[in-house]
Structure 1
Amino acid sequence: MSSTTASNTPRAGLLLRDQGFLRLWCATTASGLATWAMPFLLGLAVLEGTLSAVGLGLVLALRTAGFLVAVPLGGLLADRHSRRSVVLWSGLAAALATPVMVLGLGASTALTAAAAVVVGAGQGACRPAFQALTAEVVAEDDRQRANAAITLSVRVTTLLGPGAAALLAVVTGAGMLLLATAGLWLAAALLPAWGTALPRREERASFAAEFFDGLTEARRHPWFLAGLGALAVVITAGYSATGVLLPLVSRDQYGTEALLAAAMTAYTAGALAGAALLSRWRPRNAGWTALAGLGLYGLAPLSLVLPLGPVAVLAAYALVGVGIELFNVPWFTAAQREVAPGKLARVSSLDFLVSYGLAPVGLALIAPAAQVLGTGPVLVGCAVLCFAAPALAALAPGARGFTAPVGRGRI
């Protein structure tokens, strides 16, 4: 890829005036906001006394289970039938199950948990379908800007959402706000335009055969497997350090939990800056740039090892936020460009399955590891893994530009 020139920048304005993309952007923003809001609002329900802490854990665990089951299934269905149809039905399922969750608050944790499975399934099924639908609706030259615009909206909602939700909850209550997310799911289901449908196949293999066909397609792209492996390591090590050890360091080293909130705000602000940068800039070596950005996650656990002061921690988390979007936007764009169109949803589902599926493993293991080995050594180990995994992935064929190596043409 070549660096962005001034002639490229007007296309960003043209993209924002494209009705098909605007509808897709609004839909993905709505689904992202609804996905983020659910655990936060359920946490507010615990504070209100309509849900117990044990109930919260059960509901979120079952939501995650529904998500993980539906991600590969959604990818299969989106490649087999229509990406737009999968978005429609997954959004409607989440929208219809949300009021059931609200009915269960304060009355039946089992009912809330059962509905959470359906909501999680809707969240999971729509992810690969949205990813593939973007490739249908947006021309190839505009996809990096489109992916940057989508991630910008997600970051803005996560930055402003907690404060706004907490203020509104004082007036309406967590249950009413949770009910409002059903409207967001309706918007996600109904807003997107219908993309360019894939050619209909007369004969279809079994679901298992099509799933393994998607794995075969993923193996055709060494840069994808290497990048996915690096992402899995970073999520397992780096995300776990942020989720579990940052609160402990904030309390024990700095005597306040305020550092936790400030660090996450700095991370989100950095991610916003990274997405804004990539809406205008195309790195010459997009793959290496993306993997270097992913490696910046090692700064997060490294900043917690020594008492360097809150400013150093906040600066590290801001750089981590920039880096994660330096990875995300080229990564999604490359998959939409390089993967065979009829298999894109299945390959994307593998990406989301690994990304979300391994996070609970790291979260579960890091606290016992810190108790046995000490917080400092575990943080150093996490930092080393976050630096080393993307560096090794950069050696894979095609990793330099996230593209097919010479001699392997694109399908």
Structure 2
Amino acid sequence: MSSTTAPNTDPSARPGGPLRDPAFLRLWSATTASGMATWALPFILGLAVLDGSLTAVGLGVVLALRTAGFLVAVPVGGLLADRYSRRAVVLWSGLAAAAATPVIVLGLGSSTALMAAAAVVVGAGQGACRPAFQALTAEVVAEEDRQQANAALTFSTRVSTLLAPGLTALLALVAGLWVLLLGTAALWLVAALAPARGAGAPPARARAPFHVEFADGLAEARRHPWFLAGLGALTVVIATGYSATGVLLPLAGRDHYGSEAVLAGALTAYTAGALLGAVLVSRWRPRARGWVALAGLGLYALAPLSLVAPVGPVVVMAAYAVVGVGIELFNVPWFTAVQREVAPDKLARVSSLDFLFSYGLAPVGLAFIGPAAAAWGSGPVLVACALACVAAPALAALAPGARAFSTPRPAPAPHQAADRAAQPAAG
């Protein structure tokens, strides 16, 4: 069964926009809870390393296997969310993550292997719910309200990113690590149970094998040239600009400024800029929204450029704040366009490709940028990353439909145009 029912796009059905719609607020609560659980777990396990409950090697294994579970589950979750109810996929993936988290508690301090096995399940739950949440948003929110809804969703994600480390550290002062881990399990329960049902029951249809349905999703993605070009640009920017932040920003802070404060300040400025960007794009509707979004993505070049030379901590933080604004100028119109342009019964599969390639290839960049900097020096590598962050979105802007993130419609055949022209006269 496939969730192909079109969402209700009657503006009167949701007066006041998505922020006053109970169904969207339930969805927003679920995505916020899943985001907080996702971001809190690494910090809790990091505290476990500090108190001796977990080794640094064990931490790396647990987090790596959680990522592996995520990457495997993303395409599977997309297939299931297009075959069955999106709400059901969110429910079961959230319940799986909630059930596996206490197993991490059981393994803490006694069995890294048990923790790693549970982390795979947690990562799988996280990965499976991502494309389902994207598709469920299109079912719950009317088309004209989706940009504002996506801005609200990404805003909550950024707030979670900003608050999760500090809240985790504060709670650790008054509660044990096992209490904090069980708290993330409770957040996964909220993510599983909070969302409302989507737009009606999916109609029954014959089921094809998984590999055939996955190929159908690829074919749908190829039908939208702007999507393939934009996804390629996003993948390049994450694999270069994001990797520069993850690997070379700490080194630049140490070598240029002799302090770790630049690292913390830059990441905080990035999140603050992203929050500002989410607010800005929630209402802004530029005519060339695709080009504006790709230009925002290209601003990521400022991140590696600010690290090439000791330009001052304030300049670095300002650059990262602009990068944060730019990434949301891309993210919100991008998600909105995918929900608008992609066939509803293939939306989760196409969204899974988005997450799989953009986030799945990020570890490749992280793995290569350190050795590259050691071989050729940080400066040339940072300049190369900046050029890639500019060139990839610029090339993507040349793709058909990139100007407005809209798939060009084929022109009707001459005889079809004549028939349409004759219809009013015949009536």
TM above 0.5, one fold? yes
Give 1:49 shift. Answer: 1.1
Tell whether 2:283 aligns with 1:276: no
- Residue 228 of structure 2 corresponds to 225
Tell whether 2:211 aligns with 1:185: no
Residues paired across the two proteins, number: 400
- Residue 126 of structure 1 corresponds to 129
Tell whether 2:101 aligns with 1:98: yes
Give 1:15 shift. Answer: 2.0
Aligned match for 2:312, one of 309, 312, 318: 309
Paired residues for 1:168-317 under 5 Å? 168-197=171-200, 199-317=202-320
Give the residue type in structure 2 aligned to 1:32: G
- The separation in 1 between residues aligned to 2:147 and 2:83, in whole angstroms, is 26
Give 1:405 shift. Answer: 1.7
- The separation in 2 between residues aligned to 1:201 and 1:370, in whole angstroms, is 54
Aligned match for 1:165, one of 148, 154, 168: 168
8 Å contact kept, 1:75–1:128: yes
- The separation in 2 between residues aligned to 1:36 and 1:198, in whole angstroms, is 33
Aligned match for 2:154, one of 139, 144, 151: 151
8 Å contact kept, 1:45–1:175: no
SS in 1 for 2:17: helix
The RMSD of aligned alpha carbons is: 1.3
Distance 1:221 1:211, change over 3 A: same
Deviations 1:209-234 (Å, cap 9, x if unpaired)? 00010000000000000000000100
Deviations 1:145-180 (Å, cap 9, x if unpaired)? 000001111111211221121111111133321210
SS in 2 for 1:308: coil
Larger Rg: 2
Give the residue type in structure 1 aligned to 2:66: R
**Identity across matched positions, percent:** 76
- The separation in 2 between residues aligned to 1:239 and 1:349, in whole angstroms, is 20
Distance 1:408 1:385, change over 3 A: farther
Deviations 1:18-51 (Å, cap 9, x if unpaired)? 1100000000100111111111211111111111
- The separation in 2 between residues aligned to 1:173 and 1:408, in whole angstroms, is 64
8 Å contact kept, 1:12–1:145: no
SS in 2 for 1:407: coil
- The separation in 2 between residues aligned to 1:175 and 1:55, in whole angstroms, is 17
Paired residues for 1:370-385 under 5 Å? 370-385=373-388
Structure 2: gaps spanning 5 or more residues: 1-10, 413-427
- The separation in 1 between residues aligned to 2:401 and 2:152, in whole angstroms, is 26
Structure 1: gaps spanning 5 or more residues: 1-7
Give 1:188 shift. Answer: 0.5
- The separation in 1 between residues aligned to 2:15 and 2:257, in whole angstroms, is 44
SS in 2 for 1:25: helix
Aligned match for 1:47, one of 24, 30, 50: 50
- Residue 4 of structure 1 corresponds to none
- The separation in 1 between residues aligned to 2:283 and 2:176, in whole angstroms, is 41
